[in-house]
Chain A
Amino acid sequence: AIQMTQSPSSLSASVGDRVTITCRANQGIRNDLGWYQQKPGKAPKLLIYAASSLQSGVPSRFSGSRSGTDFTLTISSLQPEDFATYYCLQDYNYPFTFGQGTKLEIK
């Protein structure tokens, strides 16, 4: 199974900050990666698919990029509603695998 190593596991930031979260795959997965936001007690919400495509209805402050097997989620200017846990998911092959998650907290 493909391993997705996500970092950092937690992050403290302030409203207005620019933050980046990274997932590294242990083999090539093309652009077959998505990013999700999860708030406590809720289902995950798809933000980005195909590494850099913004899901419909998601604010443009969210963006995704890829460099080789490294994938980055960037939030350009944190808003209060962005404090949540973020996960990556590779859909290159089965079994699909998630990163361990990054908890984004208010500083």
Chain B
Amino acid sequence: QLQLQESGPGLVKPSETLPLTCTVSGGSISSSSYYWGWIRQPPGKGLEWIGTINYSGSTYSNPSLKSRVNISVDTSKNQFSLKLSSVTAADTAVYFCARRPVGLDQFDYWGQGTLVTVSS
């Protein structure tokens, strides 16, 4: 059974970089059949797509986040990561990682989510 697990600091200071990692178990991140993505949800609000990466490192990110987003993949560890720079309180959210099969094109497996609070 495929599982995704987000990990990272629960608290980040304003202007710093938010680092998160998603560890995939029960399946290989190296498959060309999948994209891997990050989605976030501010407390009490809706969902926002952050960005997507595939096994070869091709990335797409939300222009609303301007150039603050960096998504990378480490196939040796079966992980992919998100770095969000210059964070503000508006970046406080639950961050989810998820899998998107090529062809299905929607997110079929999700991590449980991790709350990241931006505060000094």
Q: Report A's interface with B, CB cutoff 8 A.
A: 1, 32, 34, 36, 38, 42-46, 49-50, 55, 87, 89, 91, 94-101
Taking a contact as CB atoms under 8 Å apart, the answer to whether A43 and B112 are in contact is yes
Q: Whose C-beta in chain A lies nearest to the C-beta of B100?
A: A91
Distance in angstroms between the alpha carbons of A101 and B41 in the assembled complex: 12
Q: Is residue B63 contacting chain A, with contact meaning CB distance below 8 A?
A: yes
Distance in angstroms between the alpha carbons of A27 and B61 in the assembled complex: 21
Report B7-65 residues with CB < 8 Å from chain A CB: 39, 46-49, 52, 60-64
Distance in angstroms between the alpha carbons of A87 and B54 in the assembled complex: 24
Contact with A along B54-78 (1 / 0, CB 8 A): 0000001111100000000000000
Contact of A44 among B47, B62, B63 (CB under 8 A): B47
Contact with A along B90-102 (1 / 0, CB 8 A): 0000001010100
Taking a contact as CB atoms under 8 Å apart, the answer to whether B105 and A49 are in contact is yes
Size category of the binding interface on chain B = 20 to 34
Taking a contact as CB atoms under 8 Å apart, the answer to whether B64 and A95 are in contact is yes
Min CB distance, A54 to chain B, in Å? 12
Distance in angstroms between the alpha carbons of A69 and B50 in the assembled complex: 24
Known A49-B104, A89-B49, A95-B61; further 11 A-B contacts with Cβ < 8 A: A36-B47, A43-B112, A44-B96, A44-B110, A46-B106, A49-B108, A50-B104, A50-B105, A91-B106, A94-B60, A98-B46
Min CB distance, A42 to chain B, in Å? 8
Most buried by A among B39, B47, B52, B110: B47
Q: Chain B contacts of A55 at CB under 8 A?
A: 108
Q: 10 closest pairs, A vs B, by CB?
A: A34-B106, A43-B110, A96-B49, A49-B106, A91-B105, A95-B62, A98-B47, A94-B60, A101-B46, A46-B108
Distance in angstroms between the alpha carbons of A97 and B111 in the assembled complex: 19
